A = this chain, B = another copy of it.
């Protein structure tokens, strides 16, 4: 039995292009003891994957050339030789970009029945939601009445960060690109203000949006946007550093004002983190997040592309600034 897969054909220099990915046919192995056969339902594309496409020293292992890209996938069990997974179960795991595949029962986690669409396991209940939850609550620790600013605010992580911060009683300001996104933040997600980093008067917009300064800055972008934010930090500000998407396609070192004088002046804390290190608390977080989604306290915007062939385009779209909310690609219907 053959299926289709997408391999890393060439490591991109800067932005991924037509030479980065290659489609090819591959045999699906029969499941052995402790394995399941799966069909992909939804494939997640995420900015962090760009780092794995380079072979430079990074906090994650680089992808192998001519091997399939791996990422978060929601899949359905079509055949089981596992003792705890059954045909028909829906699972999530870091799996190869294939339409069908065989995986060990240890590589996937059965998705809890939470009365929410399955692809939410790739966003608010999955890695992006967990990233928002732990970075904001464990490092940012927003308090009632404080001001929380989040960049890439309309993205899969940022939109959840802002909504959790609202739940905690903070004034929430989102930074996003273009009026469509900023409007979405204030009109649909209930942010107190939204600032357009592409606008000429970005600095003035930001200053006006944070009259009491910034207590928590949830960092997703880095670069000149962050430099501007740092001008408004309050004493004891906390900065969870989740991402620096402005740098992911850099081929040279990105220069900006050095941060030490700012951290001293504000007695501020900056901490980089990888969500994986909070995995012991993922189950608790998923309960909270599902409850908030069902209550309507957290709304999730998902861009769903249709068809396995759309995966490369959906990935590239992450870096052009045109994406809106969590990007997933629907590969098959659930049986």
Contacts and interface: CB of A to CB of B under 8 A. Distances in A.
A241 B264 contact: yes
Interface string A148-181: 0000000000000000000000000000000000
A296 interface: no
Q: Give the number of copies in the complex.
A: 2
Interface in A250-282: 253-274, 277
Interface residues of A, number: 36
A250 to B, nearest CB: 8
A58 interface: yes
B270 A269 contact: yes
A244 interface: yes
Interface stretch (A5-13, A102-110, A120-128, A218-226): A218-226
A243 interface: yes
A33 B64 CA distance: 79
Q: Which of the listed residues A222, A223, A226 has the most CB atoms from chain B within 10 Å of its own CB?
A: A222
A272 B266 contact: yes
A300 interface: no
Given A254-B258, A264-B272, 18 more contacts: A58-B265, A59-B265, A59-B267, A226-B258, A226-B260, A241-B260, A241-B264, A244-B260, A244-B261, A244-B264, A247-B261, A253-B257, A254-B257, A254-B261, A255-B257, A256-B256, A256-B258, A259-B270
Interface of A: 57-59, 219, 222-223, 226, 235, 241-244, 247, 253-274, 277
